[in-house]
Structure formats: C-alpha cells, structure tokens
Structure 1
Amino acid sequence: MMQQLYDFLEQQPFLVSILRLLFWVLFIIVGIRLLRKIARNRIDNVSFRYKTQKGIEVFGYVLIAILFLVFFTAGNIKDYSLVIGLFTAGITFTLQELILSIAGSFYIFAVRVYTPGDRIEINGIKGDVIDIDSIYTTIMEMGEWVSSDNYSGRIVKISNAFVFKGPIKNYSMDFPFVWDELNILVTYESDVELAKKIVLDSSMELLSDYVEGSKAKWGEMVERYYIENATLEPTIAIKLTDNWIEVNVRYITDYKLRRGTRHKLFDSIQKEALRTDGKVILASATLQLLKIPEVDVRIKHNG
C-alpha cells in the first residue's frame, strides 16, 4: 500500500509541490500563533506587547507570500501554466472580499488611516479602535442606545475592505480636538448682555487649557493641509425665537471629553445665572391651562 502511494506521488510532481507548499504554510501559521502566545504571556508592557504580536503576524504573512512567490516562479511547474491561471482566477473571484481585506490591512498600516486607540466612524459605526489584524478592525462601539460619546459595551469587527469603500471619520488623528456647541435659553425679560457675558466668561474660564493646547496642533494642520485658519476661542451667537432668546456658544474641546465638558459648562452657566437675582432667567417650554368660565344655563318652561 505504501509502495503504491509512493509510486503515485512520484508520478505527480505537481501534487507533491502543492502538498509541500500547504505543509509549510500550515507550519508558519502554527508558528505565528505559538510566538504570539509566548509574547502575550511574557511581555508586560501593553503597547510593546501589542506591537510585538503584530510584528510576528506581519512577518509570518510575508514568509507565506514569499513561499507562494517561489512556488509560482519555480521551473518545475511551467507546464501547468493554464491550470495555475484558472486556479488563481477562481480563487481570486471566490475570495475577493478576503483578498481586499488583507490589502486593506496593509493600506491601513502603510498610510496610517487609523491606529489602535483612535476614535473613528466607519460604515456608520462609531467607536475606539482596539485592534487591527490582517482581516478585521475591532472597535469598541459607542452610541446606539447610549447617549453621547459613551461605550455601548459591544465589540464590533469591521472588514478592512471598508477602507476602500467609503469615508472614514477620524476624531483623533492630526487634530485631537473637536468643536461643539451648547444652546442656553433665556427669557425675553432677562438681561441679554449679562447673559452673553456669563456664557462667554464661563466658557473662557473652563476651556482656556483646550484653547492653548489646540493652537499648536491647528498650526500644524494649516501648514500641512489646504485649510483656512479658524477661531479657537469660544464664540457667541444670538438667535431670537417665538418663546425665548437662544444664546449659542461654540467652543473647542478634547474629542474624548465632549460629554463631560458640556456638563461642566452648563453647570457653571446655571450657577452664575442663579447669582444674578433674576436678571438672567433660564427659559423652558411651558404649557398653561386656562379655566373655562362657568356658564349658567336656565331653561324657561311655558305655562
């Protein structure tokens, strides 16, 4: 039986080459997993451990690519060019999404579209990137049923192929600040100039560190990209409505602290408004129910 198998393999050099290639590919994959496990157990520093694991993974895939390159350029398979062409075309069509995902991973690392730790929005999903491998980008999701910039608790895996299919919104690359707005509603009986002063002073006091920290980063943005200079200090705009006066403040803050900044800013403005002894009154939608006047109906009977 063994002799027959040996004779058969001797007559099929191409099959032997395929089996040898698959063996080495399997050997490299097992080696990658083993080395990643060793790095995970032996390295304490989180950042260095992550980079080491990624380096091992990339090195392994490079070795596999070299194996395939050597295999398809070897002289002993030149008679199988048609078979190889059809086989390659079939594999490419069947695994096009997988191939595009692997290409996307190289594109992400080469161009630095985003890196672990960045806050991005891709394919309608927003969150922090916690891992990037050869096929998927793993995101800690934000939003959905949770308000503002809070984690929902779900881990989302997105194919790296999406970097070629749509826009990627990065909240932290190059300029780790975002502009936000807060509307303060005051009644028409309020001192509007005092209300504007309270809103602006509270914003300047609370956000001065963000403004100073963002100036250097914005300067780098202006030098690197075709973009106009922007006002980084808080600005005020007034809007009159049917019910109240809307004082809008636009300000810059850290992209990870947007929710906390809004809370602190509104709390500060509210406390200052209460100290004005009624000169500035925060407005709200109210509904007043009026009592219907009583009607005295008397029926007069004839006879």
Structure 2
Amino acid sequence: MDEFIALNPVLVRRLIGTLIVIIATIVLSAIARRIALATFDEQERQYMASKWLSRGLWLIAIVLTIALWSPNASQLITVLTIIGAGLAVALRDVLLSFVGWIHLQLHPPYRRGDRIEVNNVRGDVVDVGLTQTTMLEVGEWVEAHQSTGRLVHVPNGWLYTHGVKNYTEGFEYLWFEQSVVVTFESDWEEAREIILEIADATVPNCEEPARRQLRQMTSEYLVQMNVLTPYVYVSLADHGVKLTLRHLTAARGRRSVRHDLISEILRRFQEHEEIHIAYPTYRISSSDSVPPAQNQRISHE
C-alpha cells in the first residue's frame, strides 16, 4: 500500500478528494433536509425545498469531482466534451427524460396530484423526478378508474413520444355517461323523466364550481361548454330503447356516483309496471319438413 501511495500520490489525492466530496454531499443533503423541515410548515414546500437543495448539492459535487480529476482547464473542457458526446449517444432516452423534466418545470402539462394517462398508463402523479414520473396507478383490473395500490414509474421522455391526457388540469370534472335499455313496450318517456329526476337528486351539484373553473380556463384555452346540466339522450338498440344519461362528475368520484344512480334507477323502475329493463333474447324455430342440418334459425327479438 505504501509503495502504491508513493508511486501514485496524485491518484491517491484525487481518490481521497472524491471520497470527501461524496461524504460531504451526503451530510449536507441530510442537513438541508432538516433545514427544509424546520423552515416550512406545509408538507409540499418541505418536499420541494428538500428535493431542490439535494439536487443542487449533488450537481455541485459532480462539478467538483470533474474539476478534481482534471485540474487543467483545457483538459477539463476536453473531458467534458468527450463525456457529453458519449452521453448523447449512449443515454439518449435518459437525456430526453431530463429534457422532459425541464419542460415539466417550465411549462408543466401536469403537476403532483393530477390524474393523467400516458401511453395507456393511468394514475395520480405523486412525484416528478429528474428522469421519471411516479404515479399511483388507477384502472387496470380495478373498474371505474379506482386505485390499484401500485406505484408506476414512467420516463419523462414520454412527453415527446406519447400524448398526455390530464383528467384534472384546470377543470376537475368529466362528462360521464350511463346507459339503460328499456323494452320497446315500456313507457320510455316516463323512464326518461325518472332518470332525469334521479340525476338531479343523486348527482352532486357540479354546475357552479364547474362554471367557475371554466371561466378561469378561458384565459388560457379556447373552451366552449355552455350546457352543464344532466341530460338524457334517446336512441334505438337492437333489443329496446336506449336511454343515456350524460352528466358532470368529479374525476375521482365516478364509481360512487354510478353506484348511486343505478341503485336508485332499479328501485324506481320496480315501482312502475309499465317500465321494464330490456336484455337480448333469441328465438329458435324449427320445422319437421326441413332436414336436421337446416332446421334451425336464430333471430334477434
């Protein structure tokens, strides 16, 4: 060991210096986190301050380490150029994700707390890192966009390769549709009125807060949405009259609203003998004069 130190004193000094920089950065990051916790009361501000201080310290540590191993200015420029060229080729996706992070800081299409969908991955954003966004997943095997309990990490570079759908940016409500089919013999007009009554009584009143948010959105986007009240559309299905209720609901409350609606619709329809929920049926007819291979005909009723 003594011979190695004697033969390579510069290398040893650089190794020791690098180790000191790393240890100092770890200690200072821990101190910075404690300062952030003591300075800010809000959890989000504590989180942001801790993140930015830690990232800044590690960036300084990287620069100091490079300078330590290349004390000559011309050598430092050469090393940085070679490193930059290598990173551009070998770490294209990582660099794209880092550029995506810069984009998210300057003109964010989503923030922490937003519900987004990108490349068929859907969830609530819980963290935006230098190279990836972390989401609490919703959907998949769970119906009605409720949480699965899994954390999903997606690269920030997806901003440029896939479209981002934001369920809550600027406007925290979504149009939701629920369809019910009644038989052709049913009093569909009465059924339509019943569904509207149930919607007015069951669906949370979103009209006023939605209008306020729309007025705020018009300062940034060309948005036109005049009718915000529930409405029932009538159309024909193969097996009956289709009644489709369209209404506003909070982006995170669709399943409970649908449960309340369907439960009340079923109860109210049971009180009216002239209203019957339709379902697909089939008629099978046969004739003795036709060979067995050709004696069956199936048709929708």
- Fold match by TM threshold 0.5: yes
Q: Give the one of 165, 182, 185 matched to 2:181.
A: 185
Cα shift readout 1:116-162 (whole Å, capped 9, x = no counterpart): 22111112111111222222211111222222212223221112222
Q: For residues 123-272 of structure 1, what are the structure 2 equivalents within 5 Å? A: 123-207=119-203, 209-272=205-268
Q: For residues 45-194 of structure 1, what are the structure 2 equivalents within 5 Å? A: 46-64=43-61, 67=64, 71=67, 76-78=72-74, 81-194=77-190
> Does the C-alpha gap of structure 1 residues 80 and 119 become closer, same or farther in structure 2, counting only changes over 3 Å?
closer
Q: After TM superposition, give the deviation of residue 287 of structure 1 in Å.
A: 4.6
Alignment coverage as a number of residue pairs: 287
Query: In the alignment, residue 146 of structure 2 is paired with which amino acid?
Result: N
Cα shift readout 1:182-227 (whole Å, capped 9, x = no counterpart): 1011111111211111111211222351122211112222332122
Aligned to 1:32: 29
* Cα distance in 1, alignment partners of residues 75 and 49 from structure 2: 42
* Cα distance in 1, alignment partners of residues 145 and 286 from structure 2: 45
Q: After TM superposition, give the deviation of residue 104 of structure 1 in Å.
A: 2.2
* Cα distance in 2, alignment partners of residues 222 and 42 from structure 1: 37
Query: What runs of 5+ residues in structure 2 fail to find an aligned partner?
Result: 289-301
* Cα distance in 2, alignment partners of residues 216 and 243 from structure 1: 41
**Secondary structure at 1:145 match in 2:** coil
Aligned to 2:299: none
Q: After TM superposition, give the deviation of residue 81 of structure 1 in Å.
A: 4.5
Query: In the alignment, residue 27 of structure 1 is paired with which amino acid?
Result: A
**Secondary structure at 1:121 match in 2:** strand
* Cα distance in 2, alignment partners of residues 223 and 273 from structure 1: 45
The answer (yes or no) to whether the contact 1:118–1:172 under 8 Å persists in 2 is yes
Cα shift readout 1:230-257 (whole Å, capped 9, x = no counterpart): 4211122111123100011111100000
**Secondary structure at 2:218 match in 1:** helix
Deviates more, 1:29-38 or 1:126-135: 29-38
Q: TM-score, length-normalised on structure 1?
A: 0.79
> Does the C-alpha gap of structure 1 residues 168 and 192 become closer, same or farther in structure 2, counting only changes over 3 Å?
same
> Does the C-alpha gap of structure 1 residues 146 and 185 become closer, same or farther in structure 2, counting only changes over 3 Å?
same
> Does the C-alpha gap of structure 1 residues 30 and 285 become closer, same or farther in structure 2, counting only changes over 3 Å?
farther
* Cα distance in 1, alignment partners of residues 48 and 81 from structure 2: 37
Q: TM-score, length-normalised on structure 2?
A: 0.79
Q: After TM superposition, give the deviation of residue 176 of structure 1 in Å.
A: 0.6
Q: After TM superposition, give the deviation of residue 8 of structure 1 in Å.
A: 4.4
* Cα distance in 1, alignment partners of residues 215 and 99 from structure 2: 33
The answer (yes or no) to whether the contact 1:21–1:71 under 8 Å persists in 2 is no
Deviates more, 1:59-68 or 1:195-204: 59-68
* Cα distance in 2, alignment partners of residues 131 and 159 from structure 1: 12
**Secondary structure at 1:214 match in 2:** helix
* Cα distance in 2, alignment partners of residues 185 and 116 from structure 1: 40
Deviates more, 1:191-200 or 1:93-102: 93-102
> Does the C-alpha gap of structure 1 residues 285 and 4 become closer, same or farther in structure 2, counting only changes over 3 Å?
closer
* Cα distance in 2, alignment partners of residues 137 and 30 from structure 1: 26
* Cα distance in 1, alignment partners of residues 245 and 6 from structure 2: 82
**Secondary structure at 1:173 match in 2:** coil
Aligned to 1:282: 277
Q: Mark the structure with the bigger radius of gyration.
A: 1
> Does the C-alpha gap of structure 1 residues 16 and 160 become closer, same or farther in structure 2, counting only changes over 3 Å?
farther
What is the RMSD of the two structures over their aligned residues, measured on CA atoms? 3.5
* Cα distance in 1, alignment partners of residues 168 and 29 from structure 2: 31
Q: After TM superposition, give the deviation of residue 93 of structure 1 in Å.
A: 2.0
Query: What runs of 5+ residues in structure 1 fail to find an aligned partner?
Result: 294-303
